[in-house]
Amino acid sequence: EVSTDDPEMAFCTLANREELNPEEDSVHHCLYQFTRNETLTEANKLLCDVCTQRHCGPKNSINEKKYVYTNAKKQMLISLAPPILTLHLKRFQQAGFNLQKVNRHIKFPEVIDLAPFCTAKCKNVADGNTKVLYSLYGVVEHSGTMRSGHYTAYVKMRAMNNHLSDLVLRGQSQASETEPVKGQWFHISDTHVQPVSVSKVLSSQAYLLFYERLL
C-alpha cells in the first residue's frame, strides 16, 4: 500500500518508544526489535518510480529506462490493534546444520501496552489515546526437545469481556479498565487440571501468549 501522507508521520507511534528501554529476554524487547526503524542501503535500496521517471523522462520506453534505486527507511508498525493479541515466540535457533530448541525464560507481563508499537494513526484507537492495553488470559508451554515433547497450557477462567464484542462487531470499544481481568488461573496437561498462581504462570517457558484487549 502506497501512502501519500506526511513521511515524518509514517514513523510516529501512539506512545514514545524511546522511553521504553526494554529489558533483554522479554516480550517488550522482542516487540521493540521487531518494530525498530531500519535503513535500506546498498543492495537493499528501494526502487523509486518517481526518481526513475524524473531521470529518464515519461516518454522513454520500458527497455530504455534506467531504473533508479534510493536509500529508504523501513519500519513495521501495527496499524490495526486486534481484539485478541496472539504472540508466537520463536523457540528454536540454527546450530550448525541442526535446529536447537531455545529453553531460556522470556519475561512477559500480565498487562501489556502496544501503544509504542502502533502507528500514530492506528485505525481502531480513539483520538487522544496513548495506551493500547491487553490482559493475559492464556499461555501455551512446550517441554522437551525439537524431536519430542509435550504441550501444556495455562488458562484464566474469568468473567465475559463485553468490550471484546464491541471490538469484534463495531470495531471500537468504550473500555476504560487498566488492570488485569480478574479470574483464576489453571494449568492444563492432558486430562489433569489444577489451579495455579499468577506467579507460576509468569515464570513459565511461554511458547504462545494470548492477550485480550482492555483499552
Q: Is the pLDDT of residue 209 over 70?
A: yes
* pLDDT given at position 176: 57
3-state secondary structure of 140: strand
CA distance 20 to 130: 14
> Is the separation of the CB atoms in 196 and 186 below 8 Å?
yes
In a domain, 22, yes or no: no
Place of cell 533508479: 68
Q: First-to-last CA distance in the chain?
A: 28
Q: Is the pLDDT of residue 4 over 60?
A: no
For the stretch 110-129, pLDDT in tens is 999 999 999 998 888 888 88
Is residue 154 a part of any domain in this protein? yes
Q: Does residue 30 lie within any of the structural domains?
A: no
Residue 113 lies in a domain: yes
Residue 57 lies in a domain: no
What CATH number is associated with residue 116?
Answer: 3.90.70.10
**What is the largest distance, in Å, between two alpha-carbon atoms of the chain?**
73
187: in domain: yes
pLDDT mean over 26-39: 93
- Say if 143 falls within a structural domain: yes
Is the pLDDT higher at 8 or at 193? 193
- What is the domain count for the chain? 1
Q: Is residue 91 part of a domain?
A: yes
* Domain of residue 156, residue span: 81-213
* pTM value surpassing 0.85: no
Give the C-alpha separation, 100 to 28, whole Å.
Answer: 23
